[in-house]
Structures are given as structure tokens and as C-alpha cells.
Structure 1
Amino acid sequence: MLGQFENHISNHFPFLQGKKLLLAVSGGLDSMVLVHLFQQLNYEIVVLHCNFQLRGLESFEDQQFIQEYSNTNAIPFVFTQFDTEAFAADCKVSIQVAARELRYSWFYEQLAIQKGDFILTAHHADDNLETFLINLSRGTGLEGLTGIPAQNEKVIRPLLSFSRQQMEEYASVNKLKWREDSSNASDKYLRNKIRHHLVPLLKELNPNFISSFEKTQSFLSEAQELVDDAAIMVYQQVAREEGEDIYFDLVRLLQLPNYSSYLYQWLKEFGFTAWDDIYELVTSQSGKQVVAPYFRLIKDRDCLILSPLPSQENQQEFEIESVESKVKFPLNLVFSTVSKIGVASNSTIFVDQDKLVFPLTLRHWNEGDVFQPFGMEGKSKKVSKLFKDEKLSLIAKEKVWLLCSNNQVVWVVGIRQDERFKIDPNSKNLLKIECIE
């Protein structure tokens, strides 16, 4: 196996040569084989171990075993201990999810501390098969069937092409010792049920099942690459990006026979899970939306708009103490006293300074806000009605700021000035207010 492994590294991970590698080691068969293989190839390695404290004394015996092996073989050893159950309870996640989050967060910390280049884990072909079957049993898209990636940013999994049987044979020949995790014997977890019952049956039906499975995954990965390429090409025709927002043209989208598949490919990375709701959104009325943890998808006339969820900034108010104030955030506002009225525009207004009560406030609009549009003396209008007339999307509305004096709207910034603060024949102090992008 050593020769095969050396060739595998040379062919698929040649960039590891001369790098400092941090090896994630649990003490089990696969991770101990991983350490031994890189020892034989004379790489610079550091052993990392996470003690999740889930199996009482056994967890600490694993830690001691790895530490003794590292010391005996003069390998740098770094470990940490987690209260995994408490973390899982606090975050309301499963033990498995908690362990994964804790593990990889710590690995990346160590990557910086140890000045390492890559993190290596001991996932192997049998792990890959189990993951495939778990995803298949739960229902998944094509990407869920392509298995564990051999590389994910700084995380490398160099044993994915090798089976557990190959590692057992290697360990036997090299007289390696390892620790057996007692929880692996339990059928409490789905992965263990698959490992103990389903995988042996598949191997019994086809002794070369692992090899056949690897070929199937290779074909699936190629199919996924084709899907990704098609998604990119269609995205360029259907989507346009404006700042943090992405607009999907529904007229063009609905011309595609499999538009829902494209939506899935484009949106899956944003944390959406309510796919039926998203597909229905295409034909819903304007204003409907589907929300993910950090993003939302909104139907707006002939568009779907993908946007980050509003921040707390939307609830804030900013005070402007006087005309001498320099306002740079959240808008760049410039106040200038002038002797005569110039050309007004969406970004520039002229007001009677004596009609203003300082401090002015700058805030987002609220439902129920009313103002008197410039040129409509004595007539009030809801700000929301102005937005409707301007055909603003929900996202565009949320980005509008109101400049207010004593709770009265002076300016719907960038859209319309208020009549009550306009300059009249009796005005003595003229003030120019500009919003500069």
C-alpha cells in the first residue's frame, strides 16, 4: 500500500511535497495508518487530536495513546478537550454536528498557530460509501451523491481511494496498534447501521463493490461538472448583480424547461432549504418571499431578488446636530448655505433653513409615514404610496432614507422633497442639501 499511496500523492497532491502537514488523528485504524504512511515518506507532520469527552475514561485513554505514540516517534503533538455535550445543548444541534463544528474550527486555528499548510484527515473509501448511502437514504441532489471531496480548501483527504481492508492489511504488515472506539459497535447511529449491516451485504453481493462504487462516483462527479457549467452559462443570461443583490429575470427563466433545477443550483449555496416554496415563488404575487438564515428571495413583478437579510442598521436613527455637521454615514450628506436656488434634482434639494428644527434625524421609513410631496401644497401622501408609484421593490424600499425635522419628513432622500420646507418669497436663509454617492 505504501507504494500505491506514494504514487497517489504524487499524481493527485504533488503540492504537498515540502509542506507542513497537520494530521487529524483520533487513534483509530485509519488515522494511525495515515500517520505511519507520512512518516515513511518523510513529510513534516504535526499530530492534532480532539478529545470530545463523550466516552468517559476511554476518551482520555485515546488521548494518552496518541501522545505516547507521538512522543516515541518524535512527532509534534497538539491536543484539545471539548465539552461537546454542553456545546450541542447550547447551540441546539446534534452531538455529531457539534463535534464537527468544534473539530474543524480548532483545526483551522491550529493551521495558523502551527504555521501549517494543510490539514489532513483519514477519511477512506468505506467512509465515502457510507456517506453516499446516508445521503441517498435521506434524499439528495446530484452533489450529495458525489461523496466526500478529496480537497476542501485547506483540508485534504488523501486516503479516499483506499479501503478499510487495505488499511487493515497495511497495519497488520507494519504491526501498527490503534484504538477501537466503543461507540462504533453501537447501532444507535445511522452510519453504524449502514456500516454493520448494509455495506457487508453489498460487498457480499459484489466482492469488488468498493471499486465499482468509485467508478460510479467518478461518473457522477463528471455529470456534476457538466451541470455546474450549464448553470454558469444560463446564470449569465438570466441574472444580473447589483451590489449585494442578484436579480433573476423571470421572463427568461420561465422559458427554460427545467427552471427549478437552475434555481436549485444557483441558490443552494445560500442556505435555502424550502425548495417547494421557492419554486412556487416564481408564480406568486409580488412581495412574497422565502427566507434562509442569512438571505432571502423576494418576488418582485418580473424578477426574483436574492438579497442579504436586513441588518440592525435598518432600525437605527442618526442625528444631524447642525448645518456644520459632516455626515458621512449612512449617507454622504453635504449642507451648504446659498444665496439663491440652483437646479434641484433627485440628489439635491433646497430648503428654508429657518423651517428646520435641529437636530435633524436620518432614518429608514416606517409603515404609516406621511409627507407632503413638493408641488402638492396641502396634500399629504403616504411614503408607502410614493414607493408604489415609483415601483420600488421591497429591497429598494428598505434602502431608502428619510431626512426628518421634528418628526416631519423633509426629504425622501433621492426621490422627493417635502412641500412644507420649500423656499418661499419670505425665506431668508437658504440651505442646499446634497446626497453624494
Structure 2
Amino acid sequence: MLEAFKKHIENSFPELLDTHFIIACSGGLDSSVLVELCHQANLRFSIAHCNFRLRGTASDGDEAFIRDYAKKIEKEFFVTHFDTLGYVNQHKVSVQMAARELRYAWFEQLLKENNSSYLLTAHHANDNLETFLINLSRGTGIDGLTGIPAKINNIRRPLLPFTREELEFFAQVEKMDWREDASNADAKYLRNKIRLEIIPKLNKLHPTFSDNFKNTLDYLQQTETIASAYLFKLKEELFIDKRGRFEIEIAKLKELHPLSIYLHGLFSAYGFKEMDNLEALLDGLSGKQLSSSTHVLVKNRDVLILSSNVESKSDTQEYLITEEEVPLNLPLNLKFSLVPERQDNSDTVIFVQKNRLKYPLTVRKWKTGDFFYPIGLNRKKKLAKFFKNEKVDILSKEETWLLCSEGQIVWVIGMRADHRFKVDDTTQDILKIEFT
């Protein structure tokens, strides 16, 4: 197995050959074998262990075992202790989820502190099968059936081609010791139930089930690669970048069949999983929106607007600008300068009469009831009506800031200045205000 492992590293993980990395080790069979294989392959690494304090003396025994092992093979050893149950009670998550969140947050911190590029985990072929069956039982698309990724961000999983039986055979040949976690035999956990009860039955039904599953996973991954390439090309055509947001024509989306499958492929990566809600949004009223944990999707007339979550317009904080200086903590960049002559206003630059301004000026979000006198119109207009006429979408409205003088709007920043402050032929002190 060592030669197969070394060849696999050379072919699939060459980045591990000439850099230092960290191995997450629980002390169980899988991670202990991963440490031993990397050690025998003469790779440069340290060992990290999480003590979740869930199994009393057994947890401390795991820590002592790995500490001794690291000392024996002369590898740096990192360990941390968690109040896992306290985290569970505070965040209202399962023990398994708490352990996952705690350990990966620590691993990320550890990589930064030790200038290490990669974290290795000991997921293997059996874990792939269990994950496949779990996702299948819950309902998933092809992305949930392609197995655990071998590489994602700074995580590497070099044992995925190897079965647990192969790992155990290697450990026995090398006369290795490892720790057994008694909770792995508890069938109340879904993953354990699949491992202990379902997979053995599948192997009995077909003697070559494990090999057949590997082949199936390869085919699914190849299909997913083709599908992803097509969706990427489709996104380039449909998703029009508008200042960091995407606009998608609804009519073009509706040309795709079957619609729900395309919607899943295009929007699931942004956290939108309920296709019924997405389809309903296409025919909903303008202004209707869906939110995920990371993004907002808004219908604006004949387009959908996709944006990362933005600060709500309910933010009532106001920022003051004195005549002497512009503070550094403004939510946007403004520059004030006196100039000898005026030029035409634009979205990002306006020219005003300095003596009309009353300091301190205020920068704030717009609110219902605001009005101003837009240049070019020269009469009072409610800001809400102005936004409607200018076809400003709901997300842009929420991000709109105003520059005000004694409550009067000087500038709807990035859009339109107010007529009451505009420069005329008699103006002597011309103030240029730039927004970047």
C-alpha cells in the first residue's frame, strides 16, 4: 500500500511533496495510518489533535497516545481542548456539528499560525460510500452524489482511493497500534447505522459492490465535470455583471427546460435550494425577493438581481463631516476640494456652492418621506418616486447614501445632486465633491 500511496501523492497531490502540512489525527485507525504513510513516504508534516472532552478518560487516553506517537516519529504535535457540550448548549447544534465547527475553526487558525499550506484528513473510500448513501437518503442533486472532494480550499484527502480494509491490512502488517472510539459502534447515529448494517448487506448482495461503487463514482464525477462546464458557460451568458451584482433576464431563464433542474444548477451554489420558491419568484411581483445565508435574489421588473447579503437600509447611523476634515470612518469614500471653475456633474462628481452648505454635513441612508429638488427637474420630488422613475432596484435603494446639509439633501450620492446647491455664474467658492 505504501508504494500505491506514494504514487498517488506524486500524481494527484504533488503540492505535498515540497511543503509542510498538518495532519488531523484522532488516534483512530484511519488517521493513524495516514500519519504512518506520510512518515514512511518522508513527507514534512506536523500532527494536530482535538480533545473534545466527551469520553472522559478515553479522550485523555487518545491525546496521550497521539502525543507519544508524535514523539516516537519526531513530529511536532499540536493539541487543543474544547468544551464541546457547552458549545452545543450555546449554539443549539448537534454534538457532531459542534465538533466539526470547533475543529475546523481551530485547524484554520493553526495553519495560519504555523505558515502551513494544507491540512490532511483521513477520509477514505468507505467514507465516500457512506456520504453517498446519506445524501441519497436525504435527496440531492448530482453534486451530492459525487463523493467527498479530494481537494477543497486548503484541505487535502489523499486516502480516498483506499478502503478501510486496505488501511487495516496495512496497519496489521506494520504492527501498528490505534485507538478505538466506542461511539463508532453505536447504531443510533445515521452514519454508523449505514456502516454497520446497510453496507454489509450491499456487499452480500453483490461481491464486487465496493469496486462497482468506485466505478460509479468515477462516472458521476465525470458527468458532473461536464455539467459544471456547461453551467459555467451558461452563467457567463446569462449572469450580467453590474457593479458587483448579477442581472439575469427572466425571459431567458424561462427558455430553459426542464426549468427546475437549470435553476438548481445555476443558483444552488448561492444557497438557494427550494426550486418551487425560485420558480414562483420568476412570476412574482417586482420587488419580491428570496434570501439565503449568503445572497439575496430580487425580482426587478423583467430581471432577477443576485447580490451578496447587504447592509439593511434600517441602519440609522449618521456620519458627520466637519468643514476642516472628512472623517476616515465614513461608509463610502468622499473627497472635498475647492476648484476655480465648475464642470458638468456626473454620477461620481458634483460641484456645489460652498457658502450654501451648513456644517457639519451629514451622511446617512435614505428613509421614507425624504425629498429633494433634482437638478434637471428643479421642483420638489419624493425620493421614493425618484427611485421608481429611475428604475432603481430594491437592493440599490437599500445601499443608497445621502449627503445632507441641515436636513436638506445635497446629493443622492452616486445618482443626482440637488438644484438648491448648484453652482451658477455668480458663485465664487466652488466645492468639488467626489465619490469613489
Please say whether Structure 1 and Structure 2 have the same fold, judged by a TM-score greater than 0.5.
Answer: yes
The Cα shift of 1:116 comes to: 3.4
Find the counterpart in structure 2 of residue 19 from structure 1. 19
Question: Is 1:135 aligned to residue 140 of structure 2?
Answer: no
Q: Name the counterpart of 2:243.
A: 243
* Residue type at the aligned position of 1:175: K
Alignment of 1:311-390 (within 5 A): 311=311, 315-322=316-323, 325-326=325-326, 329=330, 330-336=332-338, 343=344, 353-374=354-375, 380-390=380-390
CA distance in 2, matches of 1:163, 1:9: 16
Superposition pairs of residues 231-310 of structure 1, within 5 angstroms: 231-310=231-310
TM-score by length of 1: 0.90
Equivalent residue runs for 1:397-412 within 5 Å:
397-412=397-412
Higher alpha-carbon deviation: 222-231 or 48-57: 48-57
Query: Is this contact kept in 2: 1:352–1:428, CA < 8 A?
Result: yes
After superposition, residues 118-197 of structure 1 pair within 5 angstroms as: 118-197=118-197
| Larger deviation, residues 313-322 vs 162-171 | 313-322
Change (3 A) 1:411 1:117: closer
| Cα deviations by residue, 1:41-94 (Å, 9 ceiling, x for unpaired) | 232332221111111111111111122222233333221111112123323322
SS of structure 1 residue aligned to 2:50:
strand
When structure 1 is superposed on structure 2, of 9-18 and 341-350 the one drifting more is 341-350
Give 1:346 shift.
5.2
Contact 1:348 1:432 in 2 (8 A): no
- The amino acid that maps onto 1:336 is L
**Residue 327 of structure 1 contacts residue 333 of structure 1 at CA under 8 Å; is this kept in 2?**
no
Tell me, yes or no, if the aligned pair for 1:350 and 1:430 is still in contact at 8 Å: no
**CA deviation profile, 1:272-330 (whole Å, cap 9, x unmatched):** 344432232122111111112232111111211111222379543222223x5457852
| CA distance in 1 between partners of 2:384 and 2:88 (Å) | 44
Would the alpha carbon gap of residues 419 and 201 (structure 1) be closer, same or farther in structure 2, given more than 3 Å must change?
Answer: same
TM-score normalised according to structure 2 size: 0.90
1:60-79 paired onto structure 2 within 5 Å: 60-79=60-79
- The more displaced of 381-390 and 5-14 is 5-14
Query: Which one-letter code corresponds to 1:110 in the other structure?
Result: L
Alpha-carbon distance between aligned partners in 2 of 1:80 and 1:12, rounded to the nearest angstrom = 31
Shift in Å, 1:436 = 4.6
State how many pairs are aligned.
Answer: 433
Deviation at 1:221, TM superposition (A): 0.3
* Residues 1:61 and 1:294: Cα distance change in structure 2 (over 3 Å): same
SS in 2 for 1:170: helix
Contact map agreement 1:423 1:430 (CA 8 A) in 2? no
Question: In the alignment, is the contact (CA less than 8 A) between 2:24 and 2:121 conserved in 1?
Answer: yes
Cα distance in 2, alignment partners of residues 372 and 47 from structure 1 = 66
1:333-352 Cα distance to aligned partner (Å, 9 max, x none): 435376x8765555565655
Change over 3 Å in CA distance of 1:28–1:386 after alignment to 2: same
Distance 1:178 1:28 in 2: 5
Q: Is the 8 A contact 1:373 1:381 kept in 2?
A: yes
Identity %: 41
Report the CA distance between 1:202 and its aligned residue: 0.5
Mapped to 1, the partners of 2:150 and 2:412 lie a distance apart of 53
Aligned CA distance change for structure 1 residues 55 and 376 (closer, same or farther; 3 Å): same
Moved more, 71-80 or 224-233: 71-80
Partner-residue secondary structure (3-state), 1:3: helix
Give the superposition deviation at 1:119.
Answer: 1.9
Contact 1:337 1:429 in 2 (8 A): no
Provide the residue aligned with 1:435 in structure 2: 434
Offset of residue 152 of structure 1: 1.8
CA distance in 1, matches of 2:41, 2:351: 76
Ranges in structure 2 where 5+ consecutive residues have no aligned partner? none
Distance 2:179 2:349 in 1: 73
Give yes or no for contact 2:24–2:49 (8 Å, CA) kept in 1. Answer: yes
Whether 1:228 aligns to 2:193 is: no
Query: Offset at 1:164?
Result: 1.4
5+ residue gaps, structure 1: none
Paired position in structure 1 for 2:9 = 9
Q: 1:135 to 1:405 in 2, by over 3 A?
A: same
Q: Which residue of 2 aligns with 1:38?
A: 38
What is the CA RMSD across the aligned residues, in angstroms? 2.7
In structure 2, do the counterparts of structure 1 residues 16 and 58 end up closer, same or farther at CA, with 3 Å as the change threshold? same
Q: What's the secondary structure of 2:411's corresponding residue?
A: strand
**C-alpha separation in 1, matches of 2:20 and 2:377:** 72
Deviation for aligned residue 1:227: 0.9
> Offset of 1:228 from its aligned partner?
0.6
Q: Secondary structure at the match of 1:296?
A: strand
After TM superposition, the runs of 4+ consecutive aligned structure 1 residues lying more than 6 A away are none
Residue-by-residue CA offset, 1:76-120 (whole Å, 9 max, x unaligned): 322111111212332332221221122122223333344434322
Tell me the CA shift for residue 232 of structure 1.
1.1
Residues 311 and 398 in structure 2, CA contact (< 8 A), matched pair in contact too: no
Q: Using the alignment, how far apart are the partners of 2:68 and 2:23 within structure 1?
A: 16
8 Å contact kept, 1:47–1:77: yes
